[in-house]
Structure 1
Amino acid sequence: MFYRTQRDLAVALNQLVDSYWQGEIKEQQLISGVKNIYENNGDKLIKNKQFTTVVQQQCGKRRLVVVDRILAVK
């Protein structure tokens, strides 16, 4: 999926990670979802080798730790 703004992207990441934490989706779905978001919206997610400020503010540290570990495995 392509997102118009960093805020839209952050909301989608929040929903994805929260769904995993609540047991609504499996780990593999989380991993493929995060990788898909990154491949299509990398410039909105990461700048200068760190998450953008808007994404950091909207997602929070705990969610971004999960996302960072998924992307590091890539």
Structure 2
Amino acid sequence: MDIKLFQKTQRDLATTVNSIIDEYWKDKISEREMIDLIHKLYSNNEIKFVKEGKYTTVLQQQCGKRRLEVVSKILNDINSIK
């Protein structure tokens, strides 16, 4: 799966996160690949992911609760985001 690791906006980041998780749910990418991509996105776009210990509002609105639960589980070993 080809994605840009450095996202321009929070909306672009949310779209990319959605597509990664959706591809995993459709069994088009492996669990390991999904985890690696989310880790890379987070490490390169941390400011767009989190603000004051919570996911940014744009990310919450665009990704939704279920996807962010998956992201939280993946990132739990990096940071304790809830």
Tell me the TM-score normalized by structure 2: 0.88
State the identity %.
47
Tell me the TM-score normalized by structure 1: 0.97
Separation (CA, whole Å) in 1 of partners of 2:19 and 2:58: 16
- SS in structure 1 of the partner of residue 76 of structure 2: helix
Name structure 1 gaps, 5 residues minimum.
Answer: none
Name structure 2 gaps, 5 residues minimum.
Answer: none
Residues 41-73 of structure 1: CA distance to partner in whole angstroms, max 9, x if unpaired? 000011111100000000000000000000002
| Count, aligned residues | 74
Query: Which has the higher relative contact order, 1 or 2, with Cα contacts under 8 A spaced 6 or more apart?
Result: 1
Query: Segments of 4+ in structure 1 off by > 3 A?
Result: none
Match of 1:58 in 2: 62
Aligned-pair Cα RMSD in Å: 0.6
